[in-house]
Amino acid sequence: MINFKINNIDIACEENTTILAAARQHNIDIPTLCNYPDLEIKSECRVCVVEIDGRKKLFTSCSTIATEGMIINTNSPKVLNARKTIIELILANHDASCTACPKNLNCELQSLANKLGIDDNRFPTVLEVKPLDNKNPVLIRNINRCIKCGRCIDVCKNVQSMSVLDVMGRSKDIEITPAYGKFLSDEYCVYCGQCASVCPVGAIIEKDDTDPVWEAINNPHLHVVVQVAPAVRVSLGEEMGMEAGSIVTGKVVAALKYLGFDAVYDTDFTADLTILEEGTELITRVTTGGTLPMMTSCCPGWISFAEQRYPEILDHLSTCKSPQQMFGALAKSYYAEKMELKPKDIFVVSIMPCTAKKYESQRVEMRIDNVNPDVDVVLTTRELSKMIKQMGINFESIEEVPFDKPFGITTGAAAIFGATGGVMEAALRTVYEIVNKEELTNLDFKSVRGLEGLKEAEVELGGQKVKVAVAHTLENAKLMCEQVKAGTSPYTFIEVMCCPGGCIGGGGQPYGTTKEVRQKRIDAIYSVDENMEIRKSHKNPDILALYEDYLEKPNSHKAHHLLHTYYHARKK
């Protein structure tokens, strides 16, 4: 134990604890800017400096280890002045047009400036305005707002192994930009949005697509349907001031109805459908000597990664579309017929935890008529919260309502799609029963749950032990791909999710996603599962009815046409 003092308070902490961590353990607040809980310590912004007795310089609390007998002052006049000066310097080179920024009231720089009492800047602006990077369908980079904190570089490189973003140039002219050119493009970026999720300011933001949604809602000729992804119901509450991990399923539906959508459906339904299609595909591959291991395909960030970096393993990917796109395809076929509507009069909106879904919905493969997108607009959790706030809905007190029919019944298996390991677990629940022709008694495959980067499990299928694996983040996906490429993968089935924690940690989720928050969202997801009446996809009566009515059977010709897709290597 190390004993020392912060602001005259006696502190005891473990050896090798930074001053910042020790202070936080004792509820002493030290402002930070470049620091982000799960990322590397950068000590670049220098905002978290503190004064240590007997030393002339100031020290960054994020990187300085507390030692025995230190006397630390976090708020001396020298410290306060330094902090304020640094923020003023940063503001003088920042496009601080706050009311014109989507991060307004959500911006860490803005709230820091406010906290430090900055109302006037001693330094004149030195900003040289540069053009926006807004040519892609997903993210907008506004370099004029970038404060060079390096967080985005860190996630993109160390969590996603993509290294798209880097520091270019030097001295006052440094820019944080794509290393391959000035603009993000689908040749090298997977649009996972993890960079946007950690950016403290409004320098990387998803494209705001709420306008076309409002227009559609207000267009009397359009039948506007919306689907809600599994991960949204355990995170949207945070945007509305509720605790992380609050389950708000019924409230989301109610809010969407209030916003004016004609029908509100659950992506969980097509998640169940995915399990039947993908499970059947797996069984076919295993029994007919098809390409193994099979890898899941519901995550568009992961698909882009495979297409860009591992084109040689594309035939390992399941041909199933993601649940979002299965929904879109059904909405413009089966549903249109059922509702006696023309597909072009149906407008499909998705609420997703994900920025890459915006890209997915625009892929040419995702158009059953080869012309119009099956999903018209994708909104992130954050964009939905914006619409709810615009309408002044009191979210916490809104009365819960159920999802609409005909896609009304869903299962616990679908609910867990939102967490890493969920697709695997859901698939195992189904594949086990179909192959072994016996009831699965213990539904919980605990070894594939949780935030561990790589997880594996062994199951007995048809008298044979089969190994499966789960990877999340592209850094871990890379390890799986290397094995598959080398032909050394010991697995039969691999689930890959691009974002840390799976979709609950997606790039479109509420800001401030940390390990702790991810765990809370995951816990919420599994409690949704536990409380479901049906917990296996193949026991979903609505799914069975859909096959009976329309799709015939899993992997039928019709199912293939609507629910499956193909991949292609991308040039680089």
Partner 1 sequence: MIQMKLISKRFGSINPLSIDSYMNADGYKGLEKALKMHPNKIIDELEKSRIRGRGGAGFPAHTKVRALSKQSGDKYIVCNADEGEPGNFKDRSIMENDPHAIIEGMIILAYATGASKGIIYIRGEYQNAIMIMKASIKAAEEKGLIGENIQNKSFDFKIEVRSGAGSYVCGEEFSLIESIEGKPGRSRTKPPYPTEKGIHNLPTLINNVETFANFSHIILMGGDEFAKIGTKSSTGTKLISLSGNVKNKGLYEVPFGTSIRDVIFKLGKGVKNNRKIKMVQLGGAAGPIIPEYMLDMSIDFDRFENFDSKTGTGAIIVIDDRFDLFDILLINMKFFVNQSCGKCAPCREGHVQIVNLLNKFINHRATEKDLMSLENLANVIQQTSLCGLGQSSMTSIISSLRYFRDDYFSKVRY
Query: Where on the chain is the footprint of partner 1 (CB under 8 A)?
Result: 41-47, 49, 56-58, 60, 63, 65, 78, 81-82, 85-86, 89-90, 92-93, 122-124, 126, 147-148, 167, 169-174
**Which residue type occupies 44?**
E
Alpha-carbon span 182 to 196, nearest angstrom: 17
What's the min distance (Å) between Cβ of 124 and partner 1? 7
User: Catalytic pick from 103, 321, 332, 357?
Assistant: 357
What's the min distance (Å) between Cβ of 176 and partner 1? 10
Which lies closer to partner 1 via its Cβ, residue 169 or residue 490?
169
Q: Is 203 in the site for ligand SF4 (CB under 6 A)?
A: yes
Q: Is 147 in the site for ligand SF4 (CB under 6 A)?
A: yes
Residues 6+ apart with CB under 8 A from 439: 433
The burial class, CB within 10 Å (0-12 / 13-18 / 19+), for 220 is: exposed
160 touches which of ligand SF4, partner 1, none (CB within 5 to 8 A by kind)? Answer: ligand SF4
49 touches which of ligand SF4, partner 1, none (CB within 5 to 8 A by kind)? Answer: partner 1
Q: Please select the residue that binds ligand SF4; options are 152, 217, 264, 379, rule is CB under 6 A.
A: 152
Alpha-carbon span 353 to 418, nearest angstrom: 9
Q: Is 224 in the site for ligand SF4 (CB under 6 A)?
A: no
Alpha-carbon span 384 to 256, nearest angstrom: 9
Q: Is 204 in the site for ligand SF4 (CB under 6 A)?
A: yes
- 362 sits in which H/E element: helix 356-362
Q: Would residue 503 show up in a list of annotated catalytic residues for this protein? A: yes
Q: Please select the residue that binds ligand SF4; options are 101, 112, 146, 563, rule is CB under 6 A.
A: 146
Q: Would residue 281 show up in a list of annotated catalytic residues for this protein? A: yes
Structure-block tokens of residue 68: 């025995």
Q: Please select the residue that binds ligand SF4; options are 31, 150, 300, 328, rule is CB under 6 A.
A: 150
Structure-block tokens of residue 482: 């290397």
Which lies closer to partner 1 via its Cβ, residue 37 or residue 169?
169
User: Catalytic pick from 277, 360, 383, 425?
Assistant: 360
Query: Is there a contact between 354 and 505 (Cβ–Cβ < 8 Å)?
Result: no
56 touches which of ligand SF4, partner 1, none (CB within 5 to 8 A by kind)? Answer: partner 1
Q: Please select the residue that binds ligand SF4; options are 58, 107, 164, 349, rule is CB under 6 A.
A: 164
Q: Is 149 in the site for ligand SF4 (CB under 6 A)?
A: yes
Question: At residue 16, what are phi and psi to the nearest 5 degrees?
Answer: 65, 30
- Please spell the DSSP secondary structure of 305-317, one letter per residue: HHHHH-GGGGGGB
What's the min distance (Å) between Cβ of 184 and partner 1? 22
Q: Would residue 318 show up in a list of annotated catalytic residues for this protein? A: yes
What's the min distance (Å) between Cβ of 477 and ligand SF4? 12
Query: Is there a contact between 560 and 446 (Cβ–Cβ < 8 Å)?
Result: no
| Orientation of helix 422-436 relative to helix 267-288, angle to 10° | 50
Which lies closer to partner 1 via its Cβ, residue 148 or residue 182?
148
**Which residue type occupies 245?**
G
Q: Would residue 499 show up in a list of annotated catalytic residues for this protein? A: no
Residue 416: closest CA among 499, 528, 501: 528
User: Catalytic pick from 278, 307, 425, 495?
Assistant: 278
- Please spell the DSSP secondary structure of 490-528, one letter per residue: --SEEEEESSTTSGGG-TTSPS---HHHHHHHHHHHHHH
409 touches which of ligand SF4, partner 1, none (CB within 5 to 8 A by kind)? Answer: none
Q: Would residue 539 show up in a list of annotated catalytic residues for this protein? A: no
What's the min distance (Å) between Cβ of 170 and partner 1? 5
330 touches which of partner 1, ligand SF4, none (CB within 5 to 8 A by kind)? Answer: none
Alpha helices (H) along 47-123:
77-91, 108-115
User: Catalytic pick from 304, 318, 350, 537?
Assistant: 318
Which lies closer to partner 1 via its Cβ, residue 170 or residue 437?
170
Alpha-carbon span 18 to 33, nearest angstrom: 16
Alpha-carbon span 414 to 185, nearest angstrom: 32
Alpha-carbon span 154 to 17, nearest angstrom: 22
CB hemisphere CA count around 332 (13 angstroms): 27
Alpha-carbon span 231 to 233, nearest angstrom: 6
User: Catalytic pick from 298, 354, 481, 498?
Assistant: 298
What's the min distance (Å) between Cβ of 146 and ligand SF4? 3
Which lies closer to partner 1 via its Cβ, residue 16 or residue 97?
16
Q: Would residue 278 show up in a list of annotated catalytic residues for this protein? A: yes
Q: Please select the residue that binds ligand SF4; options are 30, 201, 248, 414, rule is CB under 6 A.
A: 201
Q: Please select the residue that binds ligand SF4; options are 189, 264, 351, 427, rule is CB under 6 A.
A: 189
Alpha-carbon span 306 to 132, nearest angstrom: 28
Q: Is 232 in the site for ligand SF4 (CB under 6 A)?
A: no
- 415 sits in which H/E element: helix 412-415
Q: Would residue 189 show up in a list of annotated catalytic residues for this protein? A: no
Alpha-carbon span 175 to 369, nearest angstrom: 43
What's the min distance (Å) between Cβ of 11 and ligand SF4? 29
User: Catalytic pick from 503, 520, 536, 537?
Assistant: 503
Q: How far is CA 132 from CA 94, 97, 142, 148, 337, in A?
A: 14, 15, 5, 16, 43
Q: Is 151 in the site for ligand SF4 (CB under 6 A)?
A: yes
Which lies closer to partner 1 via its Cβ, residue 171 or residue 442?
171
Q: Please select the residue that binds ligand SF4; options are 192, 263, 317, 563, rule is CB under 6 A.
A: 192
CA torsion 191→195→201→203, rounded to 10°? Answer: -50
Give the contact letters, 437-476, x = binds to ligand SF4 (CB under 6 A), - = no: ----------------------------------------
CB hemisphere CA count around 187 (13 angstroms): 10
Which lies closer to partner 1 via its Cβ, residue 63 or residue 134?
63
Q: Which residue has the tokens 């009566």?
A: 541
| Number of chain positions touching ligand SF4 (CB under 6 A) | 27
User: Catalytic pick from 40, 44, 88, 365?
Assistant: 365
Structure-block tokens of residue 131: 């053009």
Which active-site residues does the annotation give? Answer: 278, 281, 298, 318, 357, 360, 365, 503
- The footprint of ligand SF4 (CB under 6 A) covers 146-152, 155-156, 160, 162, 164-165, 176, 189-195, 198-201, 203-204
